Structure 1
Amino acid sequence: MRRWATLVAAAALVGSVLPVGAAQAAQAPPSPVTKLRQQFAEHKGLRISDLGRVFKDGKAVVTIWRKGRVEFDASGVYATDTTGRTEAGRGAVKEFENLTGLNAGSTRVICFPNEAYLSGPGYETWLPEGKHWLGLIGPENIKQTETFPQIVNVFEPATLGTLLSHASVKRRLGSGTYLQGAVTLRTLYKVSPSFRDRLAGPPKGRSAKIPVGFRLWLDRSNLVRRLTTTWRQPAGKTPTTTVADTRYTAWGSDVTLTPPPPEDTADAGRVGGDFSPPATLPIG
C-alpha cells in the first residue's frame, strides 16, 4: 500500500510540474512532412510495392506491378531499383505462366540522377550478344520512373504537404492516421516536379480540373505506409479510370544502390540512335 501511494504521489508531482499542453507536445511525433525530411540521408531508404490498374467499361485493360528499393541522399530521392511488369487485361500473364510453367519475365530498372539501366523483355533486341543491360544517359530517366505507376510522389515534401492540406477526412487509428481527400491535376502539376516531368505540358481546360482522389495511411511516427489514388482520364467516348495502390515499408533501412557491371551494359547511344524516350501521360 505504501509503495502504491508513493507512485501516485510521484505521478501527481510530475503532472504538476509539466503543463498538460507541454506533456502532449513532448509526446507528439513530428509532422509528416518533417518526418519525411528526416529520412533524407545518404545510403538510407525504404522498400516500395505498387499495384496499378487501368479500367475501361469496368474491366481492367492494363495491370502494372512494381516493387523495389529507394535510396535517399540529403535532398530526397537519389536512386531507385525496381522490378515490374505490365500486362493487358487482368491476370493474363500469371495465367499463362501457370498453364505453361514458363516465366514471362519482368523488367528491372535502376535509376540514378543522370543515368538509368534497363533489363528484361522488350530490351533484348537492343542488346548485343552477351549484354543484359541497356544504359541510358540523361536526368529525365530517373524522373520518368520515380513514381510510376503511382501518379502522386509522396517523396516530395511539397506534394505530401498538399495531400495533407486537401484531406477532407482524418481519422486516428490504432496503427496511426488515415486521411482521405482529392487534389486536381492542376494543383498536382503546380507542386510536383516529378508529375510535371511526366507531362508534355500543363493540363488544360477540363483536364486541369480532373480530381485525383487519394487515401493516405500514416504510421504512429507519421511516416507514409500506404497511398491509393484514383483518377478518371477522358479517352474518346469511353473514359478510363486508373487506380494505384502503393505500400511503403522498411523506412530508414540501409540502401546502397549500384549500377550493373560495365562489361554487362550496352550504351543506348551506341546500339541505336532512334531509341524512344519514356512515354508521357496523355493529359491536356
Structure 2
Amino acid sequence: MRRWILPAALALAAALPAVTAVPAAARTAAPDPAQAVKAQLRPERGVRVDEVSRAVTAKASTRTRYHSGIQLGPTGPVASWADVEDASDDRSSGGQGSKPGQRAAVGTSVYTTGEAVAELLPKDKLWVRTEQGDRYPNLALAVASKQTINVFDPAVLRAALKGKRAGAVSGGHLYRGTITYAKLYEAAKGYYGKLFSGAPRGAYAKTTISWRLWTDSRGLPLRLATTERAVSGAYRTIDTRYSGWGEHLIITAPARAEVVEWEDRRRPGPDAPESDISLSAAHSEPYAS
C-alpha cells in the first residue's frame, strides 16, 4: 500500500509559479486543453491534486483541504488516494471540524484510515472498507476532489471553453467563463446524468458555475477555480491545482489482513453513522438548494 502514497515534499511541490501577463508580441496560439488532457488518459499514469474548498451557508462556513493522487485510464480517473481535512471557522457551531483521514478508491470500494476512523478499528486493522457500488458517477474522482467541472473529460472541457479566448500568462494561458449544469449535462450525459438521475431540472439546470482555468504551455490544466451559488444565498468556492501530469502511478487496495469491513468494525459505544466516512461532501454534489 505504501507505494502509492506520494512523499509529502513531492505533494507540496505542486505550488504554481507566479501568474503574470506577458506582452502581446510574445503571445502564441494556445494549445487545446481538451486534446492535451485526452493525451494523458493512459493506463498507469496519473496526476497530483492540491485543493481548498469553502462552503458557506447562513449558519456555517467550512473549509476542506485535499492532497490527492489520481490514477488515470483511457476513460478518465480509475483509482485515487486522498488526505482530507475539514476545518470549520467561527461561523460554524462550536467552530469544530471533522477529524483528518486518508482515503483510497479502488474499484467500487473506499478504504479509510487515520483519526477519522481510529475508534472503529480493531487493534490488528488499519483500514475500514465501505462498498459504494455505482453510487457516484466516478468514485475515484469523488474521493480526490470536490470540483464539479470534470477536467478529466475532454468533452466537458470543450463545452466549458467553447467561444472562450485564451489570455497569455507566464508559462501558459488563462481562460474564464461561466457554465450551467444543463450545459454540462449536454456535454457528458453519462456523468452528469448519473449525478442528477437524468437531466438536471429546475434550479439545478439554471445553476451557474463561474470558473477560471490556467493551463501550462502544453495546454494541461494547472489550476481550476470555481464559484457556485445556491438560490438560498449559500455558495461554494473550490480552488484546485494540478501537477505531475503523466507520472507513473498505480494505486492498489490495502492488504486484506489490514482491512475491516464496515459491518464488522469495532463498536466501542453507539454505532457511528456511516456518513462519518462516506463521501457526503464529494465533488459531484450540486449546490443549488
Alignment TM-score, normalising by the size of structure 2: 0.73
Q: For residues 102-148 of structure 1, what are the alpha-carbon distances to aligned partners after superposition, in whole Å with 9 as ceiling and x for unaligned?
A: xx852211112322211233333443333221112324368245153
1:84 match: 84
Aligned residue pairs total 245
1:163 match: 160
Q: For residues 140-190 of structure 1, what are the alpha-carbon distances to aligned partners after superposition, in whole Å with 9 as ceiling and x for unaligned?
A: 3682451532121101111111111153x5312231111000001222233
2:223 match: 226
Question: Is 2:78–2:140's contact at 8 Å kept on the other side of the alignment?
Answer: no
Aligned amino acid, residue 162 of structure 1: A
Q: For residues 72-93 of structure 1, what are the alpha-carbon distances to aligned partners after superposition, in whole Å with 9 as ceiling and x for unaligned?
A: 123221111111111222799x
Rg comparison, structure with higher value: 1
Question: Is 1:64–1:149's contact at 8 Å kept on the other side of the alignment?
Answer: no
Higher RCO structure (Cα 8 Å, ≥6 apart): 2
Question: Is 1:80–1:112's contact at 8 Å kept on the other side of the alignment?
Answer: yes
Aligned amino acid, residue 177 of structure 1: H
Question: Is 2:108–2:139's contact at 8 Å kept on the other side of the alignment?
Answer: no
Alignment TM-score, normalising by the size of structure 1: 0.74
Q: For residues 28-81 of structure 1, what are the alpha-carbon distances to aligned partners after superposition, in whole Å with 9 as ceiling and x for unaligned?
A: 775211111111112111111110001246x97011100111111232211111
Aligned amino acid, residue 84 of structure 2: G
Q: For residues 223-251 of structure 1, what are the alpha-carbon distances to aligned partners after superposition, in whole Å with 9 as ceiling and x for unaligned?
A: 1111000010133xxx1111000001111
1:106 match: 100
The match for 1:263 among 230, 234, 257 is 257
Question: Is 1:199–1:283's contact at 8 Å kept on the other side of the alignment?
Answer: no
Q: Distance in 1 between matches of 2:107 and 2:196?
A: 19
Aligned amino acid, residue 55 of structure 1: V
Change (3 A) 1:64 1:275: closer
The match for 1:186 among 133, 157, 182 is 182
1:101 match: none
Q: Distance in 2 between matches of 1:91 and 1:223?
A: 37
TM-align CA RMSD: 3.2
Structure 1: stretches of 5+ with no match in the other structure: 1-26, 98-103
SS across alignment from 2:138: helix
1:9 match: none
1:120 matched to 2:114? The reply is yes
Change (3 A) 1:121 1:282: farther
Change (3 A) 1:250 1:278: closer
Aligned amino acid, residue 164 of structure 1: L
Q: Distance in 2 between matches of 1:156 and 1:112?
A: 20
Question: Is 1:159–1:188's contact at 8 Å kept on the other side of the alignment?
Answer: yes
Change (3 A) 1:134 1:190: farther
Change (3 A) 1:197 1:85: farther
Q: Identify, as 1 or 2, the structure richer in helix.
A: 1
Structure 2: stretches of 5+ with no match in the other structure: 1-27, 266-270
